[in-house]
Every structure is written in structure tokens, then in C-alpha cells.
Amino acid sequence: MRENIITLSDGRKLGYAEYGQSDGEVVFEFHGTPGSRYQVDATRLESIAKEGPVPLRIIVPERPGYGLSDPKAGRTLEDWCLDIEALSNELGVERFSIVGISGGGPFALACAYRMPTRIRKIAVICGFGPIDVLGQEDLSNEERTCLQGPEFTRIYITQLANKVNADPDGFTEYFISNLPKLDRELISDDLIPIFKPYAVEALRQEEGMVHDFIIFGQPWNIPLQNIRVPVAFWHSEADHNVPISHAEYLASVIPHAELHRIQGYDHTGSVLAAQPELYHFLTTD
């Protein structure tokens, strides 16, 4: 993994990490909420690509207010598209695919609509749908709490950050040990060390998660029926964070979108379980 920071035209810093081969086919991965440049699934995708016929260059940018990226007050889905355009230009990348994980899903779909000539494919794993259409039914208690407003998100993230900062190793062990059995079985020993820096950087600032949930609670203002980029969804029937109805709705509205149903895994496990199919989707025409 290689880390870097660029300075955007408005003076903000944007942090990101790269995985895989520098000359590989480019894939941007948008982390969840909260999230950071340290991504377990990017590491797993990197290892799958090493054994496959097509190398990948996986770039994980941190949204404003996460990790190394400066916050941006009042940001929107479209603002993130502009950040990605700036980052891809800085890196000399003209065409790329995007993987959106959980809370990164809406941002991936926004780019699909706003940047159709630059994006090859979009993959969304256990991603959010539009809350103003689907409502909050069956979302996790934490997500419903954060959707009540910024003050609730700040309380939640402060409590979570205090736990992580007090004992990062203990928090990592607790998080993994409390995953469902099937999910735990997908976390090999080489992936465990990534969970700690992932959590620390995801919770370094409050503003990332605060503004993500402000965005989630508002209309997306994206005509999903006008997306022409190939889109595929992976989602589990057993996801307790984001119900599969979100993927079902999005796949029904976006033309020619695919929905791959994952069986048995919860939210974390779904991301890892999808990786082999995800690699195939990203690297075939």
C-alpha cells in the first residue's frame, strides 16, 4: 500500500492510498461510512488480482473529513464527483471503474451519472439507496440515530472514537469477535492488522461521517434512469445494516443493472464474499 496527499484547487488536502500494480487497470474504491484509505477489501482484491490475468491499480480516496482529507462544509454528491475528477487528472488517469462500499455507494452512482465518458463500470457492495424514497425501515439503530441530524452523529462518533483511541487493539479484537461466524471465517490473519488503522483513520475527524449522513438524508438529485454506465450490485439477504431492498430498488431503476444476491453473510462479510465475482466484473468486457 502506498499513501499520498494532493492539494485541490480550493486549497483542501485530499488523502488516498494505492494498492496493486502501478501499471494496472485503474479502479477507484469509495470507502464506507465511516471509512478510510485503509481498506480490508482493497487488500483482498489486490491479492486476487495478483493471481488473475489482469493487474489492478486500486486507488482509495478519503472523502472530506476522513483520515488525511480536509473537511468541506456543505458538501454534496456532486462535489465528490469534482474531487474525483481532480484526483484522476492529477494521477493522469483518463478511464477507470469505481467500487462503492456501503456508504460509498451513493457517491459511486453520482459519479456514474456525472462522469459517464470516463467511467468503465460501477460496482456497489451493500450500498445505501435513497433514504427519501426508501425510508429508514430495517436500517441499523446506529444509522437511524445518525440520520436524525448532525448533533446525533457527533455524539455517536465521539463515543465510538473514544473506544477506538483508548484501546485500538482491543477494539479491533472486539469488532472481529462480534461478527457473525460466516463473516469471521472470511477474515484471514493477513487482513486483521488492517482493521486497527482503518478504524483510527476513519474516526480521526467528525466531519466526514457528519456530512455523509447529511447527504444520505437528502434527495440525491440524480436521475438514476439516465445512468448509462454498466452497474452491478452485490448485496446480502442477511445484511443487518442496509437491507437488500436498497439494492433491489436501485437495480430496478438503473437501466440494465445487475443484482447479485449474496447468501448468509452480514454487512462486513458481504464485502469480502463478493471479491472474486467483483474482480471478474471489473476486468471483463
- State the DSSP code for 73: T
Rounded CA-CA distance 85/91 in Å is 10
pLDDT tens digit string along 23-69?
Answer: 999 999 999 999 999 999 999 999 999 999 999 999 999 999 999 99
Rounded CA-CA distance 138/129 in Å is 12
At 76, the pLDDT band (50, 70, 90 cuts) reads very high
At 14, the pLDDT band (50, 70, 90 cuts) reads very high
Q: How many CB atoms lie within 10 A of CB 282?
A: 23
For residue 137, the model assigns a pLDDT of 87
Q: What percent of the chain has pLDDT over 70?
A: 100
Planar angle of CA 132, 31, 206, nearest 5 degrees:
75
For residue 201, the model assigns a pLDDT of 97
Residue 258 has pLDDT above 90, yes or no: yes
Domains in the chain (CATH in brackets) are 2-283 (3.40.50.1820)
Rounded CA-CA distance 45/106 in Å is 21
pLDDT tens digit string along 148-173?
Answer: 999 999 999 999 999 999 999 999 99
Q: What predicted TM-score, i.e. pTM, was given to this entire model?
A: 0.97
pLDDT tens digit string along 179-218?
Answer: 999 999 999 999 999 999 999 999 999 999 999 999 999 9
Q: What is the mean pLDDT of residues 107-128?
A: 98
Planar angle of CA 266, 197, 155, nearest 5 degrees:
70
Average per-residue pLDDT for the chain: 97
In the numeric block, which cell numbers belong to residue 175?
Answer: 469488532
Nearest-CA neighbor of 34 among 169, 205, 242?
205
- State the DSSP code for 180: -
Q: What is the mean pLDDT of residues 70-81?
A: 97
Q: How many CB atoms lie within 10 A of CB 179?
A: 17
Say what the alpha-carbon torsion angle 146, 148, 149, 154 is, to the nearest 10 degrees. Answer: -40
Q: Is 74 left (phi over 0), alpha (psi -120 to 50) or beta?
A: left
Residue 149 belongs to what H/E stretch?
A: none
At 285, the pLDDT band (50, 70, 90 cuts) reads confident
For residue 159, the model assigns a pLDDT of 95
Rounded CA-CA distance 13/69 in Å is 5
In the numeric block, which cell numbers belong to residue 153?
Answer: 452523529
- State the DSSP code for 103: G
Do the beta carbons of residue 73 and residue 67 sit within 8 Å?
Answer: no
- Class of residue 265 by CB neighbours under 10 A (exposed 0-12, middle 13-18, buried 19+): buried
